C-alpha cells in the first residue's frame, strides 16, 4: 500500500497522523482477514473552541475535541458500514465485525464498490490548508467584545445585540482503501461575527456580518465587522411593503450563492439517477446565457473549499461545469457515476471552490443596469423544488428606482422557476463573496413575480 505525503500538523492540537494512519491500516487488514473483498476506512479528529459574548458579557465558552471512525466493507457487491468514537482495539475490532456482519446479510447492489483505482489521487499537492490559531479564550473573548462594541458605538439606533462570536477549529482526517490509497489531510477553520438589532420608534430590525478563513490573520478586522453589521441593520429600518407585480431582481452576492447551490443539487448524481432534477438530460445543452462560465478550482492554496482528493480518494481537478452557457459536466461520486454509465468527477462530498464568471460591473453598476426593481438581501423558507425547478422564497431587501436604492422593503415573496431564472441572468457582479466554497457576485435576473400586498 502506497502511503501519500503526510500533511503538516502541530503537537499543540494533539493531531498524530502516524497513529491514525496505523489504525486505518489495521482496520483494512482486519476487514480482509474477515473475508471482505474490498474495504475503506476513514478516521478524523477535530479540536477547537468558540466563545460567544452579548452586551459585553461572556455567554458561552465551548471547547470541543471530537473524533470518529468509520469503516465500509464489501463482500462482492454487498456493502456494510459501521462507525465508532472509541479508538480502543476492542472497539475497533467490534466495529469491523459489525460492518462485515451487515454486509453478509445485505442485498447485492451491482453499482456498489470502491472508487476505481485509476481515478485515485497519487501526486497530492500541498494546499496549505492547516493554520492553527494560537489564541486563548481570554483573547478570544476580548476580540468578540471589540467586535460587538464597535457595532454598538457606530450608531445610536443599535439598541441591542444577539451577540458576537469567535470560533477556531483544526482537524485531521486519514482515509485509506484496500486497493492502495492512504492519505491524510489537516485543515483549519476560523471565524468572527456579530449580529445586532437596530430600533427606531417601535420598529426593530436585525442583521449581521461575519468573516471566515483558514488563516486568522486573513479575517476581517473585528471593528470593521461590527460596524458593517450595524450599518446593515440600520439600513433595514423603516421598511415598507410593496404591491404584487413583475419586476427584475438583483440577488446580493451572499444570497446568490444559494442559487448556485440549487444548480449543484440539480446536477448531482443522486438527483439525476433518481430522475428527480429539473436539469435531467441537459448535459451539453444551454442552461445559462452564453457569457456565463462556471468552474471548479479545487487546488487554490488556503481556500475554504480546496481539497487534493474527494471523500473516496479520487483526485480532484480543475474543470468546467458550465462553459459559454452550456452544461458541460455533472457532479458525481463513483456510485452515481456507475448508475449513470459515466465516470466519477471527484465530487464525493461535494464541489470544491465553485466560481462563476462576472460581467465586470460592481453592485452600483448592476443597480444602474436594472434601473427599477428589487435588491434582495435575505431569503427565507424552503420553497425550492429541485424536481420541477419551482422557486418560491420569502424575502427582504430594497426598492430600487432610477438605478438607486430608495428604501428597505420586507414581507414579500419571490416566485419563479430556476430553469427560467438561469436563462434570464442579465449580469453577474464582480462584488464576489469569498466566504465559503461558492464564489459569486450579485445576480441580476430579468424578471420574477413579486408577491406583496
Q: Spell out the domain ranges in the chain.
A: 11-235, 239-453
**Block residue for cell numbers 459501521:** 82
Q: What pLDDT is stored for residue 453 in this prediction?
A: 87
Mean pLDDT, residues 234-259: 97
Burial classification of residue 126, based on how many CB atoms lie within 10 Å of its CB (0-12 exposed, 13-18 middle, 19 or more buried)? exposed
Give 314's contacts (C-beta < 8 A, 6+ positions apart). 115, 119, 120, 121, 334, 344, 346, 348
Mean pLDDT, residues 440-453: 96
Buried b (16+ CB within 10 A) or exposed e, 54-81: beeebeeeeeeeebebbbbbbbeebbbe
Residue 453 vs residue 121, higher pLDDT: 121
| Angle, in degrees to the nearest 10, between helices 17-33 and 89-104 | 40
Q: In 3-state terms, what secondary structure has residue 322?
A: strand
CATH number of 11-235: 3.30.2290.10
CB 307 within 8 A of CB 185: yes
| Integer CA distances (angstroms), 208 to 130, 153, 379, 427, in order | 27, 15, 14, 26
What pLDDT digit, counting tens, does each position of 103-116 carry? Answer: 999 999 999 999 99
- pLDDT over 60 at 2, yes or no: no
Q: Which three cell numbers stand for residue 186?
A: 489537516
| Integer CA distances (angstroms), 310 to 35, 187, 338, in order | 27, 14, 17
Mean pLDDT, residues 271-296: 97
- pLDDT over 90 at 53, yes or no: yes
In angstroms and rounded to an integer, the radius of gyration of the C-alpha atoms of the chain is 24
**Block residue for cell numbers 475490532:** 93
Residue 2 vs residue 44, higher pLDDT: 44
pLDDT exceeding 70 applies to what percent of the chain? Answer: 97
The Cα–Cα gap between 340 and 76 comes to: 20
Burial classification of residue 315, based on how many CB atoms lie within 10 Å of its CB (0-12 exposed, 13-18 middle, 19 or more buried)? buried
H or E stretch at 303: none
The Cα–Cα gap between 333 and 348 comes to: 5
Q: Which three cell numbers stand for residue 67?
A: 473524533
Residue closest to 114 by CA, chosen among 201, 30, 181: 181
Q: What pLDDT is stored for residue 136 in this prediction?
A: 96
Q: What pLDDT is stored for residue 266 in this prediction?
A: 98
Q: In 3-state terms, what secondary structure has residue 340?
A: helix
pLDDT exceeding 90 applies to what percent of the chain? Answer: 95
Q: What pLDDT is stored for residue 27 in this prediction?
A: 97
Mean pLDDT, residues 405-412: 96
What pLDDT digit, counting tens, does each position of 171-224 carry? Answer: 999 999 999 999 999 999 999 999 999 999 999 999 999 999 999 999 999 999
The Cα–Cα gap between 42 and 55 comes to: 42
Q: What is the mean pLDDT of the chain?
A: 95
- pLDDT over 50 at 10, yes or no: no
Q: What is the DSSP code string of 98-166?
A: HHHHHHHTSPP-TT-SPPPGGGB--S-------------HHHHHHHHHHHHHHHHHH-TTEEEEEEEEE
Q: What pLDDT is stored for residue 16 in this prediction?
A: 82
Q: Which three cell numbers stand for residue 329?
A: 459536466
| Integer CA distances (angstroms), 135 to 142, 167, 307, 343, in order | 11, 10, 26, 44
Q: What pLDDT is stored for residue 15 in this prediction?
A: 46
Residue 6 pLDDT grade (very low, low, confident, very high; cuts 50, 70, 90): very low
Handedness of CA 397, 402, 407, 409 (dihedral sign): negative
What pLDDT digit, counting tens, does each position of 60-108 carry? Answer: 999 999 999 999 999 999 999 999 999 999 999 999 999 999 999 999 9
- pLDDT over 70 at 1, yes or no: no
Mean pLDDT, residues 162-179: 97
3-state DSSP percent of the chain in helix, strand and coil, to 5: 25, 40, 35
What pLDDT digit, counting tens, does each position of 351-387 carry? Answer: 999 999 999 999 999 999 999 999 999 999 889 999 9
Model pTM greater than 0.85?
A: yes
Residue 4 pLDDT grade (very low, low, confident, very high; cuts 50, 70, 90): very low
Amino acid at each position: 500500500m502506497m502511503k501519500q505525503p503526510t500533511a503538516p500538523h502541530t503537537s499543540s492540537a494533539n493531531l498524530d497522523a502516524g497513529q491514525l494512519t496505523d489504525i486505518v491500516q489495521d482496520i483494512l487488514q482486519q476487514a480482509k482477514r474477515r473475508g471482505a473483498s474490498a474495504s475503506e476506512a476513514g478516521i478524523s479528529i477535530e479540536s477547537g473552541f468558540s466563545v460567544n459574548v452579548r452586551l459585553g458579557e461572556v455567554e458561552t465558552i465551548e471547547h470541543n475535541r471530537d473524533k470518529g471512525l468509520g469503516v465500509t466493507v464489501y463482500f462482492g457487491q454487498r456493502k456494510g458500514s459501521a462507525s465508532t468514537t472509541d479508538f480502543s482495539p476492542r472497539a475497533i475490532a467490534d466495529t469491523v465485525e459489525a460492518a462485515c456482519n451487515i454486509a453478509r446479510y445485505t442485498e447485492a447492489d451491482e453499482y456498489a464498490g470502491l472508487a476505481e483505482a485509476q481515478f485515485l489521487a497519487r501526486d497530492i499537492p500541498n494546499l496549505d490548508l492547516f493554520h492553527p490559531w494560537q489564541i486563548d479564550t481570554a483573547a478570544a473573548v476580548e476580540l468578540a467584545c471589540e467586535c460587538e462594541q464597535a457595532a454598538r458605538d457606530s450608531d445610536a439606533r443599535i439598541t441591542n445585540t444577539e451577540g458576537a462570536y469567535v470560533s477556531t477549529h483544526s482537524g485531521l482526517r486519514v482515509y485509506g482503501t484496500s486497493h492502495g490509497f492512504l492519505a491524510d489531510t489537516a485543515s483549519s477553520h476560523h471565524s468572527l461575527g456579530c449580529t445586532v438589532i437596530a430600533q427606531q420608534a417601535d420598529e426593530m430590525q436585525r442583521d449581521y456580518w461575519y468573516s471566515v478563513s483558514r488563516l486568522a490573520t486573513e479575517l476581517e478586522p473585528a471593528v470593521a465587522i461590527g460596524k458593517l453589521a450595524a450599518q446593515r441593520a440600520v439600513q433595514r429600518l423603516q421598511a415598507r411593503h410593496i404591491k404584487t407585480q413583475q419586476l427584475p431582481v438583483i440577488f446580493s452576492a451572499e444570497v446568490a450563492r444559494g442559487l448556485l447551490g440549487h444548480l449543484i443539487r440539480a446536477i448531482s448524481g443522486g438527483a439525476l439517477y433518481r430522475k428527480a432534477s429539473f436539469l435531467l438530460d441537459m448535459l451539453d445543452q444551454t442552461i445559462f446565457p452564453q457569457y456565463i462560465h462556471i468552474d471548479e478550482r479545487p487546488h487554490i492554496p488556503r481556500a475554504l473549499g480546496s481539497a487534493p482528493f474527494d471523500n473516496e480518494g479520487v483526485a480532484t481537478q480543475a474543470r468546467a461545469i458550465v462553459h459559454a452557457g452550456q452544461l458541460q459536466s455533472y457532479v458525481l461520486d463513483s456510485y452515481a457515476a456507475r448508475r449513470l454509465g459515466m465516470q466519477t468527477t471527484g465530487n464525493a462530498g461535494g464541489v470544491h471552490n465553485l466560481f462563476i464568471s462576472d460581467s465586470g460591473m460592481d453592485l452600483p453598476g448592476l443597480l444602474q443596469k436594472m434601473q427599477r426593481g428589487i435588491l434582495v438581501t435575505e431569503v427565507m423558507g424552503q420553497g425550492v423544488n429541485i424536481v420541477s425547478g419551482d422557486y418560491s422564497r420569502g424575502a427582504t431587501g430594497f426598492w430600487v428606482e432610477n438605478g438607486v436604492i430608495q428604501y428597505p422593503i420586507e414581507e414579500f415573496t419571490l416566485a419563479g422557476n430556476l430553469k427560467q431564472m438561469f436563462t434570464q441572468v442579465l449580469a453577474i457582479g464582480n462584488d464576489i463573496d469569498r466566504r465559503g466554497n461558492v464564489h459569486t457576485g450579485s445576480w441580476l435576473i430579468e424578471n420574477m413575480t413579486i408577491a406583496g400586498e
